[in-house]
Amino acid sequence: MPIFGFLSGQFIDVIEWTDDGRGTLVSRFEREGHEIKYGAKLTVREGQAAVFVHEGRIADVFTPGLYKLETNNMPVLTALQHWDHGFRSPFRSEIYFVSTVRIGNLKWGTKTPVIARDPEFGPVRLRAFGTYAIRVADPARLLAEIVGTDGSFITEEITDQIRDVIVQEVSRALAASGLPVLDMAANTAALSDRVAGEIAPTLAGYGLELAELYVESVSLPQAVAAALDDHTTAGIARRPARAVPQSPPASPPPPPPEAETVWHVAEGGEARGPYPRAALGRMAAAGEIGRATWVWTPGQDGWRRAGEVPDLAQLFPPAPPPPPED
């Protein structure tokens, strides 16, 4: 049971409603035959609206706030009752509290397959599923068009009707889209926007606003899905193998450097070395060896004078010719 403000004596002087959290969309304030005291306090909380119905006619609608019920803030009810400015008597009215909060995570889905024509597979049967959210935008219209005199109206009493509206428009959109089934998943956002735009006027006629709508999936019959898998597999098999780039042949390694020739030097019956040719050049420049110095290198047949070895003769300055005779 919703929690209401209670009575003060014979007349009602506090009017309020606390949502019971069970999905109640509209709840009538139970006055139990008592009259509402002139100047009574009306509390309308955030996410609520209060609608006064007098003698079967919708009168005033109150948005969130704290009100003192007097003629100056009940213009419609005052006109219906022909109250004058000095009116102070209690009165009788039905008061309906309406929840205006967003109601989300509501499900919808096609009960039967929708026939659509695919440019590749021909006629196919599709199913679609998703979620939506609503809120009350016009409490008075909701009361007049849907709720009537129901004292406690819950969300489930309207969601079946809204679901039918959504499914009808989704069926139209799928059949008329002309999209290949392979492209359906990439176009669910556009499909959602189209369906939301088409059903918004219908919901507005109920006093409701579509807060959001999502087409979450479009599915194929199992046999068509299996054929699609086979088609995909065959397409992959027909695709030419991708050429693997070949690495250029490796170039042969460079030949090893030739071993440098080294020389041994013999002086005074003793051999020294080995010395590379550059060291012998420095020794020749310093006068430590000369053309008559004995040298030997591996592969040479015995010791030879340095001046007789072509590779070493260049290290020594040429000898001057014999001087002329007088």
Q: 144: helix, coil or strand? A: helix
d(CA 142, CA 144): 6
* CA 286 remoteness from chain centre: 85
Alpha carbon separation from 202 to 106, 137, 138, 199, 208 (Å, rounded) = 18, 13, 13, 5, 9
Mean pLDDT of the chain: 80
Position 6 scores a pLDDT of 41
- In tens, the pLDDT along 265-281 reads 888 788 888 888 888 88
Alpha carbon separation from 16 to 25, 93, 139, 151 (Å, rounded) = 15, 14, 16, 15
The alpha helices in 178-252, defined as continuous H runs, are 188-204, 222-238
- In tens, the pLDDT along 165-210 reads 999 998 888 888 888 877 888 888 988 999 999 999 999 999 999 9
